[in-house]
Structure 1
Amino acid sequence: MKLKELYTELSIDPFKLIESIVHAEGSSVILFKNIKSEILYVNEQFYHKHPQFKYCKESVLGKTDFDLFPESQEHAKQAFNDEQKVMETGKAIDVVETEGKTEKGHTIIAHTRKYPVHNKAGEVIGVFVITEDMTSDVVALRENQEKAKILTKLNVELSQENATDALSQLYNRRFIHAELDTLHKEYIKNNTPFSILLLDLDNFKSVNDNYGHHIGDEVIKHVGNILLNIKHQKYPTIEPCRYGGDEFLVILPAYQKDGAVSIARDIKDAFDHVVLHAGNYNDIVRLSIGVAGIRDEESVQDLMNKCDQRMYISKRDGKGRITY
């Protein structure tokens, strides 16, 4: 029996059903957001979790996560991107995230599900968010060795699923932040070097403007294929990632300047010798590259800024270049 038929046969009131879910006692925070990711509704549990808003609807409704949590802009950005993806694709997502620390020092772990909300015409008009605090469950599981193994397996599966960009099949920002943090800690502890490459596609906007976004998507897939081929065929330890839009980051564990520059040249050479045929687009995909390696007392953000500046120099000085 289809759900719609069940509603009819049992004379279920959808509004009462939603109301009972939203107001149920428990730890789930429930929100409705519009197409701009602005909050339209939160349940009482939201205020329990965030007492700083003092049950004042005016301080919450109509706001985005960027407005409410200025100290967590990266998390707000990831949440916004996830919600826009749900509304663009019409498909729900299910993620496990960390949200800082408890007073006892435990990492706060939240299980968040986001669903598209449709109007009667079938158009996506917003997103329905359910967030459940899993911290106490995780702490209890970690106290039991066998259950901890199960949790680790679950976390690995969830991490792999939610750390990959669907279009390019490369790792996304979730992976980037975790991997760079790990490498930086290893650098501080054992002075193990690492480097990064920041790749920016040249004239990508004109591709979208002149050929359409569907061809732009083919270009992104093409970039992912070439970078994965280079990893699999030549440099198995590198990690190519999609940083966002038409920017890509390649993480190079244990590589210093000379090795990083050599890999950058191999990457550029690979792109320069492959023509992409997609619709009316028949050309090589050109890119500008910045190269940077960790050194001295630099933070991960210092390294990223340095690499971004060098990539910008490549763009400024004529594009299709490598700057290190």
Structure 2
Amino acid sequence: MERKVVSYDKLEESIDFLKSMYEIVRIVDPLMKRVIKYDNNGMEETGDVCHSCWEDDKICDNCISVRAFLQKDTLMKLEHTSNKVYMVTAIPIETDKRSVVLELLNDVTKSMLMQDDSYTDIEELKKVINNLNALVVKDTITNLYNKRYINERLPVDIIKSVLHEKPLSIIIFDIDGFKAINDEYGHPVGDEVIKLLGRILEKYIVYKKSWAARYGGDEFIIVLNDTNKEEAYDFAEELRKTIETSTLDIKDIKINITASFGIYTAFKEELTTNDLIDLADKNLYKAKAAGKNKLVINNN
């Protein structure tokens, strides 16, 4: 179904009307994470980062505007500042100028605290909201991000990489012989191996420009923003060596594990999320074919 295009003038009129019903009304570019202003010159990005209103200096893990933008559907979620809880409604809109998301925010702090006696403390309520938001984008076994987060976050990183002409590196790796581990010791032990990899990754992902996710099964993805080919290779090689020397000790069983890595660094390339993952995945298959416990990176 074709999306209806809304004229700039019509959207501007709607904003004036919506301000009578919502505490905060704003237009955002969900991929660039910028608030958009409206004036006689049309729409343009401001210097305001959209997530700064939540008193945080990092991209929201469960970004409702990106989800609304990608799913082409209106979505709602709870979010909070230090002393308020907001119900956020995100509406994707195709204007005659550009694709944007209309965010509508209402303060629901008092109503949330009054509805349930167990939530009389805003700090307790904020913990509940954070846990609920994390459930959407976190993998339950490893506590890393999940595939939904990959689909929502990676397009943002790709676009920023292209626009700012910064390298973007992606690493895909999986556990060598994981099926044999499951077959010999059972899936519960296999899950413990997955958890071990999750703990190792959490120690490596310590700076803001990188993140890691469980892609599925025993396969993981690491995204390194503003990281060139050589830096990505060094990062992956150090991780490979750490995994190689790690042992899972459980129920009188000792399991030594290794992993194979595929790496791809994009620079000034207009690749989709699937393109980038596929290129790294092909290098992973090459690493497997070369004997496992190896790294393969693009040569361009």
What is the TM-score when the length of structure 1 is the normalising length? Answer: 0.54
| Preserved CA contact (<8 Å) 2:261 2:295 | yes
| Structure 2 residue 74 is matched with structure 1 residue 100 | no
Give the partner amino acid of 2:75. Answer: I
Is the alpha carbon distance of 1:273 and 1:191 closer, same or farther for their aligned partners in structure 2, counting shifts above 3 Å? same
For residues 180 and 174 of structure 1, the distance between their equivalents in structure 2, rounded to whole angstroms, comes to: 10
For residue 17 of structure 2, what is the aligned residue in structure 1? none
For residues 144 and 168 of structure 1, the distance between their equivalents in structure 2, rounded to whole angstroms, comes to: 33
For residues 209 and 277 of structure 1, the distance between their equivalents in structure 2, rounded to whole angstroms, comes to: 17
The worse-fitting range, judged by mean Cα deviation, of 214-223 and 184-193 is 184-193
SS in 1 for 2:270: coil
Percent same amino acid among aligned pairs?
28
| Structure 2 residue 242 is matched with structure 1 residue 242 | no
1:272 deviates by 1.6
| Structure 2 residue 272 is matched with structure 1 residue 299 | yes
SS in 2 for 1:240: strand
SS in 1 for 2:142: coil
For residues 222 and 244 of structure 1, the distance between their equivalents in structure 2, rounded to whole angstroms, comes to: 15
For residues 183 and 103 of structure 2, the distance between their equivalents in structure 1, rounded to whole angstroms, comes to: 52
| Structure 2 residue 178 is matched with structure 1 residue 204 | yes
1:100 deviates by 3.2
SS in 2 for 1:165: coil
1:178 deviates by 1.6
| Preserved CA contact (<8 Å) 2:247 2:254 | yes
1:300 deviates by 2.2
Quick one: which of 245, 254, 268 aligns to 1:282? 254
For residue 233 of structure 2, what is the aligned residue in structure 1? 261
1:216 deviates by 0.3
Equivalent residues in 2 for 1:142-221, closer than 5 Å: 142-144=103-105, 158-221=132-195
What whole-Å deviation, never above 9, does each CA across 1:218-249 have from its counterpart, x for those lacking one? 100000011111224xx564212100001001
Pairs aligned (count): 196
Q: Which has the higher strand share?
A: 2
1:322 deviates by 0.4
For residues 317 and 213 of structure 1, the distance between their equivalents in structure 2, rounded to whole angstroms, comes to: 27
| Structure 2 residue 188 is matched with structure 1 residue 222 | no
For residue 38 of structure 1, what is the aligned residue in structure 2? none
Aligned Cα root-mean-square deviation (Å): 3.1
1:185 deviates by 1.6
SS in 1 for 2:71: strand
SS in 2 for 1:142: strand
| Preserved CA contact (<8 Å) 1:291 1:310 | yes
Is the alpha carbon distance of 1:221 and 1:240 closer, same or farther for their aligned partners in structure 2, counting shifts above 3 Å? same
For residues 195 and 156 of structure 1, the distance between their equivalents in structure 2, rounded to whole angstroms, comes to: 29
| Structure 2 residue 243 is matched with structure 1 residue 271 | yes
| Preserved CA contact (<8 Å) 1:199 1:289 | yes
Gaps of 5+ in 2: 1-63, 78-87, 92-101, 112-125
Q: Which has the higher helix share?
A: 1
For residues 310 and 272 of structure 1, the distance between their equivalents in structure 2, rounded to whole angstroms, comes to: 19
For residues 221 and 247 of structure 1, the distance between their equivalents in structure 2, rounded to whole angstroms, comes to: 12
Give the partner amino acid of 2:224. Answer: L
Give the partner amino acid of 1:249. Answer: I
For residues 304 and 279 of structure 1, the distance between their equivalents in structure 2, rounded to whole angstroms, comes to: 36
| Preserved CA contact (<8 Å) 2:171 2:263 | yes
1:109 deviates by 2.2
For residues 176 and 152 of structure 2, the distance between their equivalents in structure 1, rounded to whole angstroms, comes to: 28
SS in 2 for 1:205: helix
What whole-Å deviation, never above 9, does each CA across 1:257-299 have from its counterpart, x for those lacking one? 0110000011011112222112243132111000111232322
Give the partner amino acid of 1:281. Answer: I
For residues 137 and 239 of structure 1, the distance between their equivalents in structure 2, rounded to whole angstroms, comes to: 27
| Preserved CA contact (<8 Å) 1:215 1:281 | no
| Preserved CA contact (<8 Å) 1:314 1:320 | yes
For residue 321 of structure 1, what is the aligned residue in structure 2? 294
SS in 2 for 1:207: helix
For residues 296 and 89 of structure 2, the distance between their equivalents in structure 1, rounded to whole angstroms, comes to: 48
Give the partner amino acid of 1:319. Answer: K
1:255 deviates by 0.7
For residues 184 and 240 of structure 1, the distance between their equivalents in structure 2, rounded to whole angstroms, comes to: 15
For residues 245 and 205 of structure 2, the distance between their equivalents in structure 1, rounded to whole angstroms, comes to: 17
Is the alpha carbon distance of 1:283 and 1:143 closer, same or farther for their aligned partners in structure 2, counting shifts above 3 Å? closer
1:193 deviates by 2.0
